[in-house]
Structure 1
Amino acid sequence: MARDLLESGIPPIWIGGEISNLTLASSGHAYFSLKDGGAQVRCVMFRHKVSALPFRPKEGMQVELRGQVTLYEARGDFQINVGEMRSAGLGRLFEAFERLKAKLQAEGLFDTGRKRELPSHPAAIGIVTSPAAAALRDVASTLRRRMPGIPLILYPAQVQGEGSAQQIARAIQQAGERREVDVLIVCRGGGSIEDLWSFNEEIVARAMAACPIPTVSGVGHETDFTICDFVADRRAPTPTAAAELVSPNREHLAIQLEQTRRALERALSRLLTDKAQQLDFLGRRLVHPGLKLQAQRERLDALSRRLSQRVNGAFEQSRWRLQLAGSKLSRHQPDLARLAQAMQQRQARLERAKDRLLERRQQQLAQLSATLAAFNPEAVLARGYAIVQKQDGQAVKNPAELRNHEKVTLRLAEGSTEARIEHPQGAQPELPF
C-alpha cells in the first residue's frame, strides 16, 4: 500500500548529487547512494538501464538522474528506481540545447516549408567531416557500393573539440560558395553529448540554413539528435543512412531499366503488329492507277454506246414520224409536189439537226476524253512531273512530312529513281520520330 502511494503520488523526478557506496553487482545492476551536502537517498539502476549509459558510473561522480520514488518492501527502504543518468555538467548542455532549439524554431529555421527535396541522381556529393573520421569511411564505402560512379568531394573539418564548430561552419560555407556538388552530407560517428556538441552550436545551424545546396545531417547514432538535424533538409539516423539517402541504388536502377526495356519491347512489338495489320488493310484497298484508267476507259465506252444509241433512237423516231406523215399524205392525197418539197426540207432540217446533235455529242465526248486525260497520272508524269514516295510507298503531299536526309523514291513517266532529302540551311527542321 505504501509503495503504491509513493509511486502514484510522486511522478518521476530529476535530482542531482554525488555517487556514494557504489556496488556493481554480477547481475549487471547498480546499487548506490546519491548524496549532497545535506541528505542522501538509496538508488538502484537495473542492468538494461546501466548498459545503455554512454559512461560507466564511478564512486564520487557528480551525476543527475531521473527516477521513480518507490519502496523496497523487503527491507522497508525508501529508494529511487533510476531510469536515466547523465553527468552533472550535461544539465547545462541540455538547457543550452533547448534554448537554442526554441530560438531557431521561432525564427522558422525548422519549418517544413523551407525543406528542399534531395536530387534523385546527384552528379557529385559533398561530405563535411573529419578526414580521419570513421563516418567518412562508412559514407564512402556505402556510396561505392550503391553508385560508384558518383564523385565525392570532402570538405574537411574538425568535428570535435575547441574550434570545431567554426571549422564545420566554414566547410559548409565553402561548399555553398563553390557549388560543385548537388547535395551535402554533414556527418560524424556517435559519441556523448559533449562529443557531438559542435553540431549544436548556433554558427553551424545558421551555416546549414544559409547553404544553397540541399543538406543531409547524419550525426551520431539513431537515438542522437542535434540542432543540425532540425535545420538540415533531411535527417539521417547514421552517416551510413545519410549516404543511402543521397545516392540511387544501381541494382534497383538496373532492375527498373530492365523492366522498362521489356515494357518498351512489348509496346514496340504491339505497335509493329498493329501497323502490319493496318498496312495489309490499306494494301487491300489500294488500286493500281492502271486499273483505275481501265475502269474509266470502260465507263467512257459505255457512255459512247449510250450516246450512239440515243442518237440512233432519235433518228429512227424521226424516220418513223416521216413515214407516218407519208402514209397520212398518201391517204389524204395531198399536193405531192408541195409535200415532196416540204418533206425534202424537213429531211434536210432533220439531217442538219442530226449533224448538230452528233457534233454536240462528239464535242461532249471530246471534253470528257480531255478531262479523263487531264486526270490521268501517267499523262501528268509525261509532262515532266514526278511523284515523291516515302519508303513505305506513301505519296508525299507536304514537305513537312519529310525528314532531313530521308530517302525517297521519285516515280517518273518512264521509270523511277531514288533520292535523299536535303533541307537548305535555316529551312524546316527534321520532324521528331
Structure 2
Amino acid sequence: MNFNTSANDVISVSSLNRMARDLLESGLPPMWIGGEISNLTLAASGHAYFSLKDGGAQIRCVMFRHKLSLLPFRLAEGMQVELKGLVTLYEARGDFQINVDTMRSAGLGRLYEAFEKLKVKLNAEGLFEQARKRALPAHPRAIGIVTSPAAAALRDVVTTLARRMPSIPVILYPAQVQGESAARQIAAAIQQASARQEVDVLIVCRGGGSIEDLWSFNEEIVARALAACTIPTVSGVGHETDFTICDFVADRRAPTPTAAAELVSPSQEQLRLQLEQGKRGLERALSRLLTDKSQRLDYLARRLAHPGDKLRRQAQALGQAGDRLQRGLDTLFSRRRWALQLASSRMQRHQPQLAQQQQQLARLAERMQRGISQTLHRQQQLLQRHHATLEAMNPEAVLSRGYAIVQKRDGQAVKSPQELLNQERVLLRLAEGITEAIIDHPQGAQPELPF
C-alpha cells in the first residue's frame, strides 16, 4: 500500500481511519492475549463490549452475539481470561479494539482444549448418538450409585431416593471423584456394576466444583466405561451449568445429583395418588356394573312366565300366523290369475297377422319399383335436354359451321372492330386449328401500329 503524499494532498478522517484499520488487520495476525475483563457491557443486541487490561495498559474489545453464545461460561467483571481475536480499528470512532473470536478462562486453556478434542473424537465414533441411548426403567428393582462414600452428592441422592421410594434398595460402588487416580476408580466401579448386574440403573455423580475438580469425569477411560456399560446410566455431575464428557456419553444427563435421583426413582406419593385414583375409578366402574346388572335382572324377572302360558301364547300366535299366511296366499294367487288373464288378452290383441303383412309388403315393394323406374326415366330425359343445350352452346360446334373466333395476342376475344388497331396481328381460332391475321382497316378508320 502506497502512502506517499505531497504537501498539498489532504485526506479525510474516514480515509485515515480506513488506512489505519487496513494496516492493523494486515500487519497483525489473530493472536491469544491474556488480561482482566473490565467495563463489561452486555448490550440488548446480545453483543459484549469490555476492556481487557493488565497492570500497565488496556484495550477495547467486542465479542459479537454468535461468538458469545458458544462460550461455556458467563463473562463477569474482573474475570481473568485469555482471548483470541483480530486487532482492528473501529472507523466510526477511531477506537483501537479487538474483535474477539473465542475466549477461555486464564490458566484453563489446556484443559478446555483437551475437553474439546476428546469431545470431537468420541462424537465422531458415535458415542453421543441419540440412537444408542437406552430408556430408563420405570420401576427399577435396585439402583446403583458410583461416587465417593464421603461425597455430599451421595447424601443428596440417598435422601432423595428414600423420600421418593424407600423400598428400592441402593447399592454403592465406591470410587474417588477427584484426584489423579479418580478416573481409573470411577471406570472400575462402572465396570464392576455392569459385570455384577445387581441393579437396573446406575447413577454416576458428584457435587459441583471447578473444571479441575470435575476433570475426572472428562477422562476418556470413564467415557469408554460408560459406553460399554450394559446397564442404563445417568450422569449427575456438578451443577446445572457444568457439562462433562460423561453427560454426553450417558443415557441421560441430570443437571444435579438430586435431579439424577429423581430421574431414576418413581415417586411413592405419585404412585399412591395414581393407585387411589385407580381405586376410585374401579369402585365407580364396579358400582355401575352392579347397578346395570340389577336392573337387567329385574327386567328379566318381569319377563319370566310359566312355560305353559308361554306355550299357549306361542300356539295362539302360530294359529294367527297360519291364518294370515293362508289369506296372503289366496290373495297372491288371485292377483297372479288376474295378471295372467290380462297378459293373455293383451297378447291376443297384439298377435301379428303374417299373411296380411306380407301382402302389404308386396304392394309396397311394387310401388317402390314403379317409383324408381319413373324417377330414372325423368332423370334420363332431363339429362338428354341438358346435353342438347350444352351442344348448342358449345363454341366448337359454332366453329365447325365455318365461323372463327378473333383473339388478341394475349388470348382475349375481340368483340368490336374498335378494339383493334390497324396492322395489328390477331389470332383466328378455327374449327381445325389456329392461324394469324393482320387487321387492315379502311383508310383512316383506326390509327396504325407504330413501327
Shorter-chain TM-score: what band? 0.5 to 0.7
- Alignment partner of 1:110: what SS? coil
Shift of 1:169: 0.3
Question: CA 1:226 to 1:261, structure 2 compared with 1: closer, same or farther past 3 Å?
Answer: same
- Alignment partner of 1:218: what SS? strand
Question: CA 1:152 to 1:190, structure 2 compared with 1: closer, same or farther past 3 Å?
Answer: same
Shift of 1:115: 0.9
Instruction: Report the aligned-residue RMSD.
Output: 4.2
- 1:146 alignment partner in structure 2: 164
Give percent identity, aligned residues only: 67
- 2:430 alignment partner in structure 1: none
Provide the C-alpha distance between the structure 2 equivalents of 1:66 and 1:242, rounded to a whole number of angstroms: 37
Match of 1:255 among 267, 273, 278: 273
Alpha carbons 1:31, 1:44 under 8 Å: kept = yes
1:42 aligns with 2:62: no
- 1:204 alignment partner in structure 2: 222
Write out aligned runs for 1:8-87 (5 A). 15-19=31-35, 33=53, 42=59, 52=74, 57=79, 63-65=81-83, 78-80=96-98, 86-87=104-105
Question: Could you tell me the TM-score, scaled by structure 2's length?
Answer: 0.52
Question: CA 1:56 to 1:177, structure 2 compared with 1: closer, same or farther past 3 Å?
Answer: farther
Alpha carbons 1:41, 1:79 under 8 Å: kept = no
Question: CA 1:99 to 1:44, structure 2 compared with 1: closer, same or farther past 3 Å?
Answer: closer
Which residues of structure 2 form unaligned runs of 5+? 1-13, 41-48, 64-70, 316-451
Provide the C-alpha distance between the structure 2 equivalents of 1:282 and 1:102, rounded to a whole number of angstroms: 77
Question: CA 1:16 to 1:284, structure 2 compared with 1: closer, same or farther past 3 Å?
Answer: same
Shift of 1:83: 10
Provide the C-alpha distance between the structure 2 equivalents of 1:133 and 1:83, rounded to a whole number of angstroms: 38
1:235 aligns with 2:261: no
Q: Which amino acid aligns with 1:217?
A: S
Bigger Cα Rg: 2
Shift of 1:282: 2.0
- Alignment partner of 2:109: what SS? helix
Provide the C-alpha distance between the structure 2 equivalents of 1:118 and 1:255, rounded to a whole number of angstroms: 22
Shift of 1:171: 0.6
After superposition, give the CA deviation of every residue in 1:314-373 in whole Å (9 maximum; x if it has no partner): xxxxxxxxxxxxxxxxxxxxxxxxxxxxxxxxxxxxxxxxxxxxxxxxxxxxxxxxxxxx
- Alignment partner of 1:117: what SS? coil
Provide the C-alpha distance between the structure 1 equivalents of 2:256 and 2:309, rounded to a whole number of angstroms: 85
Write out aligned runs for 1:347-358 (5 A). none
Alpha carbons 2:32, 2:85 under 8 Å: kept = no
Provide the C-alpha distance between the structure 2 equivalents of 1:137 and 1:55, rounded to a whole number of angstroms: 35
Shift of 1:218: 0.9
- 2:347 alignment partner in structure 1: none
Provide the C-alpha distance between the structure 2 equivalents of 1:282 and 1:187, rounded to a whole number of angstroms: 67
- Alignment partner of 1:212: what SS? coil
Q: Which amino acid aligns with 1:229?
A: D
Write out aligned runs for 1:359-370 (5 A). none
Shift of 1:256: 1.6
Provide the C-alpha distance between the structure 2 equivalents of 1:14 and 1:257, rounded to a whole number of angstroms: 65
Which residues of structure 1 form unaligned runs of 5+? 301-433
After superposition, give the CA deviation of every residue in 1:132-183 in whole Å (9 maximum; x if it has no partner): 2221122222222222222221111111110111000001011111111111
Shift of 1:69: 6.7
Question: CA 1:105 to 1:77, structure 2 compared with 1: closer, same or farther past 3 Å?
Answer: closer
Question: Could you tell me the TM-score, scaled by structure 1's length?
Answer: 0.54
Question: CA 1:296 to 1:274, structure 2 compared with 1: closer, same or farther past 3 Å?
Answer: closer
Question: CA 1:124 to 1:89, structure 2 compared with 1: closer, same or farther past 3 Å?
Answer: same
After superposition, give the CA deviation of every residue in 1:295-320 in whole Å (9 maximum; x if it has no partner): 779999xxxxxxxxxxxxxxxxxxxx
Write out aligned runs for 1:112-151 (5 A). 112-151=130-169
- 2:234 alignment partner in structure 1: 216
1:292 aligns with 2:307: yes
Shift of 1:71: 7.3
Provide the C-alpha distance between the structure 1 equivalents of 2:311 and 2:38, rounded to a whole number of angstroms: 118
Question: CA 1:246 to 1:299, structure 2 compared with 1: closer, same or farther past 3 Å?
Answer: closer
Provide the C-alpha distance between the structure 1 equivalents of 2:182 and 2:231, rounded to a whole number of angstroms: 21
Provide the C-alpha distance between the structure 1 equivalents of 2:207 and 2:185, rounded to a whole number of angstroms: 17
Provide the C-alpha distance between the structure 2 equivalents of 1:231 and 1:163, rounded to a whole number of angstroms: 21
Question: CA 1:91 to 1:155, structure 2 compared with 1: closer, same or farther past 3 Å?
Answer: same
- 2:298 alignment partner in structure 1: 280
- 2:210 alignment partner in structure 1: 192
Provide the C-alpha distance between the structure 1 equivalents of 2:236 and 2:74, rounded to a whole number of angstroms: 21
- 1:169 alignment partner in structure 2: 187
Q: Which amino acid aligns with 1:42?
A: I
